[in-house]
Amino acid sequence: MGWVIAAAVIAALCLAVGIMSLLSAREYRRQLKAARQELKVSEDSYRYLFENAHDAIWLHDLEGNFITVNKATEKLTGLSKEELEKMNVKSFLSEESLELAHQIRQKLLNNEVVEQPYEQRIFRRNGSEAYMQLTTSLVFDKGQPVAFHHIARDITEQKKMNESLRFYFQQAIKAQEEERKRISHELHDDTIQSLVVLSRQLDALATDDQVLSRENRDLLEDIWHRTESILQGLRRLSQDLRPAALDRLGLLPAVEMLASDVTRYSNIVTHVALQGKEHRLREEVAIALFRITQEALRNVWRHSGATRADIIIDFTDGPTRITVSDNGRGFLVPEKMSDLARQDKLGLAGMYERAQLIGGTLTVQSQLDKGTKIIVEAPG
């Protein structure tokens, strides 16, 4: 009798375990089905976002062969997805662009920092150029890099607009310089010469003892001194507008005269040093470098509290370089040169724009209480 009961108990336990196992399997299948559904929804959502993103998104393998692209990439390149997935990115890039792509690739593979986003230029199907601003990252499989993932924004129209604005700004600067030159010449040839004649006449009249009384001679002498003061002011104004030395003698003499004026009128000892052999520069380059130097010295005079400024003009091989440094109070330099205007440093912002217009660069180095250094480089 006992073994019958035991058998019944074991059978009941087996049945219970079987039922629980069946229930667990059903629950597992239910959860697995739900997880698969969630994954499908997630994949569908990602696919929708990928396909309909405003920015171009694509993947290519380590050799540059396209793996997958979205609709924005088709629009950017002018090619269909099917066509792109049979192509290599090298088909779209110039030698310069290929070199940049190679540098980005190597840095990412070497786990080096890449400044992003960066700009790249490509050729569309119809042969036209397109500019994009993109970010690039590596795709890994089992810990190994297998592909590159790109997100790119088409900035072609923005680039064209910026180039147009730069062209108009360049034309405005050119017109401004021509007007300054005209006014400077008129001041020198007409107004200043007339004042010189008037000053000499006043001087002759004031020193003629036989014509005027002592009181009138003193009055004329005072008028003569004021005329001389006005004459000196006009000469400085004419020099600021357009130094004759810049057109007649070149950049170095013009900068030396500028430094001499700064020393005379501000008591800031200003020294000019030459490196390499001086040569004449293109007019627009010489004017831009002079204006940048002029503005740099004006900032030293007005804001730095410096007692000394040094100018180095480097004519050695490569781009012409001018360095203006001072021993003033210095300031905090923004991370980006484009932030200069926001910080109300309009003089520096103008210098940066001038350097950009001639294909040059401007670097600002400064520390509080340790002075400032402005370095401008421009193609000859």
Q: Where are the domains of the chain?
A: 1-52, 56-154, 158-242, 250-380
Laid out side by side, the sheet with 361-366 consists of 269-275, 308-314, 320-326, 372-378, 361-366
pLDDT digits (tens, 9 = 90+) for 258-310: 899 889 888 899 999 999 888 888 888 888 999 999 999 988 988 888 899 99
The listed CATH number (1.10.569.10, 3.30.1540.10, 1.10.460.10, 3.30.565.10) that belongs to domain 250-380: 3.30.565.10
Residues 379, 314 contacting (CB under 8 angstroms): no
CA distance 282 to 97: 29
Cα maximum dimension of the chain? 163
All residues at 6 or more sequence positions from 296 whose CB lies less than 8 Å from its CB, including other chains: 324, 351, 374
Can you say whether residue 250 is alpha, beta or left, with left for phi > 0 and alpha for psi between -120 and 50 degrees? left
pTM: 0.60
Residue 128: the pLDDT is: 85
CA distance 185 to 177: 12
pLDDT digits (tens, 9 = 90+) for 248-267: 888 999 999 889 988 988 88
Which has the closest alpha carbon to 206: 193, 222, 226? Answer: 222
Residue 301 has what DSSP assignment? I
Residue 255: the pLDDT is: 92
CA distance 125 to 3: 87
Q: Within 10 Å of residue 122's Cβ, how many Cβ atoms?
A: 20
Radius of gyration (Cα) for the chain, nearest Å? 37
Residue 281 has what DSSP assignment? P
CA distance 271 to 165: 37
Pairing state between β 56-61 and 66-69: antiparallel
Residue 272: the pLDDT is: 93
Residue 293: the pLDDT is: 93
Residue 280 has what DSSP assignment? P
Ranges of residues in the chain with a pLDDT under 70 are 1-50, 208-212, 337-339, 341-344, 380
Domain 56-154 homologous superfamily, CATH: PAS domain (3.30.450.20)
Residue 33: the pLDDT is: 58
Pairing state between β 144-154 and 269-275: unpaired
CA distance 305 to 239: 24
Residue 274: the pLDDT is: 92
